[in-house]
Amino acid sequence: MKVALTGASGLVGSRFFDLLKSKYEIIPISSTFGIDITDKKKIHKFLSNRKPSVIVHMAAKTHVDSCENDRKEDIFKTKKSKVVKGSELELDNLDENDWKDSNSAFGINVVGTKNVADYARENDTPMIYISTDFVFNGEKNGEYTEEDLPNPINWYGQTKLWGEKTLPQDALITRMSYPYGYKSQIKKDFVWGLADILLNQDIARLVSDQIITPTFIDDAVWGLDFLMGKNVRGLVNLVGNNFLSPYEIGIAISRELGLSEIKLDTTTREKLYAGRARRPFKVMLKNDKLRALGFQMTDFYDTLQVIMGRPHPQPSPLGRGK
């Protein structure tokens, strides 16, 4: 089966390629490979020549503060062309050529996604879109399910949500949160970033009043493989089992590295993110739907042992979708 993979050089995309290249004929798509998804004519020609059986769309602009810096210009441009009215997306007014070669959050996360989605729609090609927990504001007193209504509070989350709106009706949307566990040469995930801080600084101040749902990248890849095999459509939270603060994660990492926990101190989200894009600070995504479909994610503390080099058995059959 041919799988077109956008964002193939990214953190999750590169691991998807590594783990599944022997199972699928993966067609890598990214700017690294000379394909820009904001160029509709070019991406459609590329896909038409290769005729993939499914498209897995991971390409996105994900740096939250950089996306926020794009907000003013993106809003000016979208309002001028009447593409956005209030918080509503008016796709009929969108001219994709206006965003060709764009490096902005709207250009990549919305227009680029629409360009790929249009090909999938026109050619009846199944499409999987990787979305984010940042579509929520993080103010719910409890856990988020697939039934909760999104309400993003930063430009990254807003553009990713609008990206969801451009998809074919039968697409699969998987929302992911804080992927970790693959020591990429291109980009460090947040776990390895924290490990570097702990190893190289006398004291690390980590946020204690933020709750996240860390997601093991290998689990996410096998989960996507499972969902493709089941031909699942709709919306699925593809996230880990644990709800943790960065401070709690730092403690776990320091133990695995054999470091004294005295190096750790707490700080608040207000202090750490002062002057930066707003974050949804308590987004606990439930993965009950994924579990009910037959796929079990691995516990965070078990995966930490694996990625920090301690011996660990292979994932159980349930972890591969028993």
This prediction has a pTM of 0.93
User: Please, is 16 exposed, middle or buried when counting C-beta atoms within 10 Å of its C-beta (0-12, 13-18, 19+)?
Assistant: buried
Neighbours of 260 (CB within 10 A): 9
Q: Which pLDDT tens digit goes with each residue over 261-316? A: 667 899 999 998 999 999 999 999 999 999 999 999 999 999 998 888 754 434 43
Domains of the chain (ranges; CATH) run 2-320 (3.40.50.720)
Over residues 102-133, the pLDDT tens digits come to 999 999 999 999 999 999 999 999 999 999 99
Mean pLDDT of 157-181: 97
E strands within 74-170? 84-85, 88-89, 127-132
Instruction: Give the list of residues 6+ apart from residue 204 with CB closer than 8 angstroms, or none.
Output: 194, 197, 198, 250, 263, 264, 265
> Under a CB-based contact definition with an 8 Å cutoff, are residues 255 and 261 in contact?
yes
